[in-house]
Amino acid sequence: MLLRKIIFGVTIALAVLTFGLPPRALAQTPDRLASLKISVWPEFDKPTVLVILDGALADASNLPRPISILIPATAELTVATWMNTDGTFAPEQPTQQTKQDDGYTRVTFTTAQPKFRVEYYHDLLHGAPDKTLDFAFKSLGAIDAATLEIQQPLKATNFAVTPATPTTRTDSDGFKYFSYAFSNLAAGQTITAQAKYTKTDPNPSAQSAPPAASAPVAAPTPTTSNDLFLLIALVALGITAILGFFLLQQRAQDRGVVANAGSSKRRRDKRRGGAATAAVFCTQCGRALGPEDNFCPKCGAPRRAQG
């Protein structure tokens, strides 16, 4: 009797553990997402549709590890990466893309953090200037909570979404968003939405948006050519100064030589002139004698040689 009670108690406990757990605990797969935000931006920076998928893994353990997500087979994948803890994104990661039979491509890449981002462009617009956009997303794994947000292009009029939603917001750049919320999406479930609007301006919104306020632009610094010209001018000025200095030195030396030569000549001439013009007198009577007088014209005394 006691053994039966023990077996019955163990059976009840196993039943509670098996059937009493929430579905999230039973389906904790590597691709299960705790949340996913789907941003659909028609004619944002290209004349097509930009789709941004921001997801968070439900199981944040065993990282880094590969994860997978579905995008339309005709879409152009541009970004697959993860978000760092500081809110920045890691460099774009290599991906493996496998086309499936359901019109979707399975994109697989390795993430080192539970939050990740995937971006792709998809040509979904039809008509002009009245345009229609039909969007569809297919989940690869289960998603606890998902948000779909469609951005109204700048300069678009008569914008309307189907199904209609009262949930809208407008950001600081003037973009208006129409939002949908979903919960407990099953693996393979598809969500769809349609947008219609009129837009005659062919420019994407990023080209039509007003420029953001910026700090005053500093005066431009000299270019490489200006630097080269300035260097050449400084070198030429230096060479000119050096040449001028040497020329002045040479001229000063030349003037000194000429002055010395003149002084020597004057000294020689003075000595010669002094010897030639020195006065001669008669030794007897003291009369001055001329150069041609051999005898004194006064007393007749003979001229004596000067010692």
Instruction: Give the number of other Cβ atoms within 10 Å of residue 137's Cβ.
Output: 24
Residues for the chain: how many in total?
307
pLDDT of residue 25: 41
The per-residue pLDDT of the chain, averaged, comes to 81
Rounded-to-integer distance, Cα 98 and Cα 93, Å: 16
> Which amino acid is it at 212?
A
Lookup: tokens for 263? 């002084």
In this predicted model, what pLDDT tens digit does every residue of 26-63 receive, in sequence order?
345 778 999 999 999 999 999 999 999 999 999 999 99
CA-to-CA distance for 71 and 278, rounded, in angstroms?
Answer: 129
| C-alpha span between 80 and 117 (Å, rounded) | 6
Give yes or no for a contact between 141 and 32, defined as CB atoms under 8 angstroms apart: yes
Task: Output the pLDDT for position 220.
Answer: 47
Residue type at 174?
A: G
- 102-156 confidence digits (pLDDT tens): 999 999 999 999 999 999 999 999 999 999 999 999 999 999 999 999 999 999 9
Tokens of 291: 């150069």
Q: Which residue has the tokens 């420029």?
A: 211
Quote the distance between the C-alpha of residue 25 and its chain's center. Answer: 46
Q: Please name the residues in contact with 304: beta carbons below 8 A apart, sequence gap of 6 or more.
A: 283
- pLDDT band at residue 97, thresholds of 50, 70 and 90? very high
Nearest to 133 by CA among 153, 119, 118: 153
Radius of gyration of the chain (CA): 53
Find the mean pLDDT for residues 245-264: 59
Of the chain, the end-to-end C-alpha distance in Å amounts to 174
Q: What's the pLDDT at 31?
A: 82
